[in-house]
Amino acid sequence: MYKAKVNITLRKSILDPKGKAANHALQNLGLTAVDDVRIGKFIEIDIDAESEEKAHEVAEASCKQLLANEVMEDYSITIEEYSPELK
Amino acid sequence: MSKKIGVIIFPGSNCDHDAYHAMKSVMGAETEFLWHKESDLSGIDLLLIPGGFSYGDYLRSGAIARFSPIMNAVVDFAKKGGPVMGICNGFQILLEAGLLPGAMLHNEKLRFICKDVHVRVERSDSIFTSRLSKGDVLRLPVSHGEGNYFIDDAGLDSLKQNDQVLFRYTDAEGKITEDSNINGSVDSIAGIVNRQGNVLGMMPHPERAMEKTLGSEDGKVLFESLFSELQIA
């Protein structure tokens, strides 16, 4: 089994109002070293595939067809091996 | 044979009865509900995809509804030139389904907006606005958290070139001001049609502005346009 970890964020060119609001709040907390905040989604997918490559293909297809909307979002995928019994 | 209007219901739709009432009681048209698991649209002459929160807006608004069984039939219906009107969540579903270009972001100021707004009619040669004139201003309610229409520059150019923008948010005089663009939409866009002109998506709710007793009947003229173009009732 493999675990795909998917990060989805708004495309860089798009204003992220949630990130901006969080950034303002962090500034108000005195964390002025914070320069920018982007808020996105983190999705874990357990995939039963024979190889890491195949697992990546499944994750990629999942992102393209449903999980991300490429009109406004970018995504990145990392694949890890994982054993369900060690959960 | 009289023409028939279909109102699609997804799990989480909540303007389905508003739409049904607007069509059946106010417009007096033969209207039926279509559950999202249906796949047969035969006999339907106009499809309404109502507002709401299909599938709880999980993932993105409209993202999951777009894979409901009925959507294949909706895509076929639209590709054959059948008139489709997506309102609010219906608009979001049409975007996710690729029947209209672009996507919806959260409102720029993050607030859910529920109030009457003004939109300017940008074309009077569409089936949805044939009883209106370019520049007319309608007062219609909006009720959405994700209505900030986004399309990239190339997409916007293409929308403009093909005259696909049907409504823009304006003030009561039809002017675009800093405040009139309520949700931060690209180019103040409130509603667009596909290139063929038979699919409309709009964030404001014309079906909730059908009777004076409910505040405004400005929405009615859209359906009067459609009904006369499609020779319904």
Chain mean pLDDT for chain B: 95
- Sequential DSSP letters for A26-77: HHHTT-TT-------EEEEEEE--SSHHHHHHHHHHHIIIII--TTTEEEEE
Interatomic CA distance for residues B218 and B90, integer angstroms: 20
* Percent of chain B with pLDDT strictly greater than 70: 99
| Superfamily of structural domain B4-103+110-230 | Class I glutamine amidotransferase (GATase) domain (3.40.50.880)
**What phi and psi, each to the nearest 5 degrees, are found at residue B86?**
-110, 120
pLDDT recorded at residue B2: 74
pLDDT recorded at residue B170: 98
Catalytic site includes residue B108: no
Q: How much is the average pLDDT of B208-223? A: 94
Interatomic CA distance for residues A62 and B150, integer angstroms: 23
Verify whether the Cβ–Cβ distance B110 to A69 is below 8 Å: no
Q: Which of A21, A67, A69 sits opposite B103 (nearest CB)?
A: A69
B185 shares contact with chain A (CB less than 8 Å):
no
Instruction: Find where tokens 């449903």 sit.
Output: A66
Q: Measure in Å the smallest separation between the Cα of A51 and chain B Cα atoms.
A: 28
Contacts of B59 in chain A (CB under 8 A): 66-67
Domain boundaries defined on chain B: 4-103+110-230
**What fold, for A2-86?**
Mth169; Chain: A , (3.30.1280)
Which candidate, B107, B106, B79, B104, places its Cα nearest to that of B93? B104
Three state DSSP letters for chain B: CCCEEEEEECCCECCHHHHHHHHHHHCCCEEEEEECCCCCCCCCCEEEECCECHHHHCCCCCCCHHHCCHHHHHHHHHHCCCCEEEECHHHHHHHHCCCCCCEEECCCCCCCEEEEEEEEECCCCCCCCCCCCCCCEEEEEEEECCCEEECCHHHHHHHHHCCCEEEEEECCCCCCCCCCCCCCCHHHEEEEECCCCCEEEECCCHHHCCEHHHCECCCHHHHHHHHHHHCCC
- A36 HSE (CA, 13 A, CB side): 4
CB count within 10 Å of CB B177 equals 11
Q: How much is the average pLDDT of B209-230? A: 94
Q: Collect all residues with Cβ–Cβ distance below 8 Å to B172 and sequence separation of at least 6.
A: B118, B137, B139
Contacts of A72 in chain B (CB under 8 A): 103, 105, 150
pLDDT recorded at residue B3: 86
**Could you tell me which chain B residue has the CA closest to the CA of A16?**
B108
Q: Collect all residues with Cβ–Cβ distance below 8 Å to B38 and sequence separation of at least 6.
A: B69, B70, B73
Interatomic CA distance for residues B140 and B87, integer angstroms: 12
Verify whether the Cβ–Cβ distance B109 to A17 is below 8 Å: yes
Verify whether the Cβ–Cβ distance B110 to A18 is below 8 Å: yes
Which candidate, B203, B214, B184, places its Cα nearest to that of B49? B203
pLDDT recorded at residue B148: 96
pLDDT band at B30 (very low <50, low <70, confident <90, very high): very high
Verify whether the Cβ–Cβ distance B110 to A17 is below 8 Å: yes
Catalytic site includes residue B106: no
Q: How much is the average pLDDT of B60-77? A: 94
Domain boundaries defined on chain A: 2-86
Tens digit of each residue's pLDDT (9 = 90 or more) over B120-174: 999 999 999 999 999 999 999 999 999 999 999 999 999 999 999 999 999 999 9
How many A×B Cβ pairs under 8 Å? 35
For residue A53, pLDDT over 70 is answered with: yes
DSSP letter at A13 equals T
CA distances (Å), origin A36, targets A12, A24, B111: 12, 9, 21
Contact B104, B148 (CB under 8 A): yes
**Could you tell me which chain A residue has the CA closest to the CA of B153?**
A13
**Could you tell me which chain A residue has the CA closest to the CA of B154?**
A71
Tens digit of each residue's pLDDT (9 = 90 or more) over B35-48: 999 999 999 999 99
- Cα angle value B189/B221/B6 (rounded, 5°): 85
pLDDT recorded at residue A86: 59
* Percent of chain B with pLDDT strictly greater than 90: 95
pLDDT recorded at residue B149: 97
pLDDT recorded at residue A69: 96
Verify whether the Cβ–Cβ distance A17 to B59 is below 8 Å: no
pLDDT recorded at residue B1: 52
**What phi and psi, each to the nearest 5 degrees, are found at residue B221?**
-65, -25
B113 shares contact with chain A (CB less than 8 Å):
no
Tens digit of each residue's pLDDT (9 = 90 or more) over B184-199: 999 999 999 999 999 9
Name the catalytic one among B88, B96, B118, B146: B88
